[in-house]
Amino acid sequence: MTKSLNSLFTDGSCQKALAQIDAKQAEMVETVIAWSGVNSGSGNLTGLTGMEVLVLKAFKPLGAEVVFHQLPPFERVDENGTIIKQKSGRTIRLFKRPDANRRVLLTGHTDTVFAPEHSFQTTTWLDDNTLNGPGVADMKGGILVMLHALLAFEATPLAQSVGWEVILSPDEETGSVGSAPILADRAKSADIGLTYEPALADGTLVGERKGSGNYTLIVRGKAAHAGREFHAGRNAVVKMSALVGELAALTGGRPELTVNPAVVQGGVAPNVVPDIATCRFNVRLKEAEHAQWFEAELQRIIGVANEEEGYEVSLHGGINRPPKVLSDANIKLMDAIRACGVELGLDINYVATGGCCEGNNLAAAGLPNVDTLGVRGGMIHSADEFVLVDSFSERAKLSALILMAFAAGHLDSVIEAKA
Ligand SMILES: [Zn+2]
């Protein structure tokens, strides 16, 4: 593989394209600082629109076709057990040469976990190479890596043989519930997938990922005065407390399956028997078939709970990301990317994680993908989020080389393994 990649460099256009990325290093850092200053928490539609304008302007030189998909409302359960529908943003699709023989899907997200009222809104230099700021790694920085890889790739003649498509979602951080059907659909039209979540700070990429689901359990009882009519009441908080224990006890019911009851709410005052309680919880699972066992256990628990007179127990939510299990084709793609790294002097390794991303969705749709091709960084989802800025040009060159290798047929074994 390494030996054959040398053929990419014989006419000089590939070296020139990679040098073009080096020349853009300062521009990438300037841009991520500007983008980080635009709050785009998943629920902030104004901020997401602001990011959309900035991203479309930056991607304009690629000359791609652009299509928008308005996502359906996002459902969440409030503390009264009422389902609230929140307006969603829209997914941006940019594509070029959709009829080419070799096709690659590149995905990313414009949203962050930081709401407008969060204190973390600006960038700070921690040292010459470390920039702290919302979304600098996850994944405004990653979008810039993707963009500059594509710009360099388009400057080479090889680009003419590849169709590429970019999907930028506004809802990844809330589980990609709205964009999941789009990701699944577009994954079916591509041979390989590249996603721009951050690599670990030392450059390690992620291989296997667990699956994940978010749920809300709702218990309705009966309100009563805690002194005058205590026995007429049905205490939803007490009932929920027992159910929380049952949910937690499902941890380990299948190998590496974990259940995390996380947000419990209920009751109004100490002298009122509470008639409502809610519990938001998350499940992580290693094997897709464990989902059926888990769902059946939930139904069993709810069924028994509903047998007690005066209570009504219901459930909202589900598994939104299946586990990312590594197919043969996926392993071949990981190996090919490792070989591209060797060309650039990068030692690329992979680790498994319990975390999820769009890579789960793409893998579930049968698309071999590597999903941590963004910047090197860390402490994501916290006010300590950082990017190591020397990784901008480093990772953009890696992706550009992957695209060139793909165009030149060096990844055809991935496509063959997939078929
Ligand atoms: Zn992310």
Residue-wise pLDDT tens digits, 24-65: 999 999 999 999 999 999 999 999 999 999 999 999 999 999
The residue ranges of every structural domain in the chain are 2-74+85-209+324-418, 211-319
Query: Strand (E) positions, 23-148?
Result: 65-70, 74-77, 83-86, 90-96, 102-109, 124-127, 130-132
Helix locations, 265-411, DSSP H? 290-306, 328-343, 358-364, 391-407
Tell me how far apart the alpha carbons of residues 370 and 350 are, in angstroms, rounded to a whole number: 10
Report the separation in Å between the CA atom of 270 and the middle of ligand 1, taken as the mean of its atom positions: 41
**pLDDT < 70 regions, the chain:** 1-4
Interstrand relation of 83-86 and 74-77 (parallel, antiparallel or unpaired): antiparallel
Helix axis angle, 140-154 to 25-36, nearest 10°: 140
Report the separation in Å between the CA atom of 113 and the middle of ligand 1, taken as the mean of its atom positions: 9
| 245 close to 413: Cβ distance less than 8 angstroms | no
- Give the pTM: 0.94
Report the separation in Å between the CA atom of 292 and the middle of ligand 1, taken as the mean of its atom positions: 27
What's the topology of domain 211-319?
Answer: Alpha-Beta Plaits (3.30.70)
Residue 418: phi, psi to the nearest 5?
A: -75, -35
Predicted local distance difference test score (pLDDT) of residue 9: 79
Report the separation in Å between the CA atom of 196 and the middle of ligand 1, taken as the mean of its atom positions: 8
- First-to-last CA distance in the chain? 21
Q: 253: which 2 tokens?
A: 């019911």
Q: Which residues surround ligand 1, an ion (CB under 5 A)?
A: 138-139, 197
Predicted local distance difference test score (pLDDT) of residue 2: 47
Report the separation in Å between the CA atom of 137 and the middle of ligand 1, taken as the mean of its atom positions: 8
Predicted local distance difference test score (pLDDT) of residue 5: 81
CATH architecture assignment, domain 2-74+85-209+324-418: 3-Layer(aba) Sandwich (3.40)
Report the separation in Å between the CA atom of 105 and the middle of ligand 1, taken as the mean of its atom positions: 17
Report the separation in Å between the CA atom of 136 and the middle of ligand 1, taken as the mean of its atom positions: 10
Helix axis angle, 391-407 to 328-343, nearest 10°: 120
Predicted local distance difference test score (pLDDT) of residue 4: 67
Predicted local distance difference test score (pLDDT) of residue 147: 98
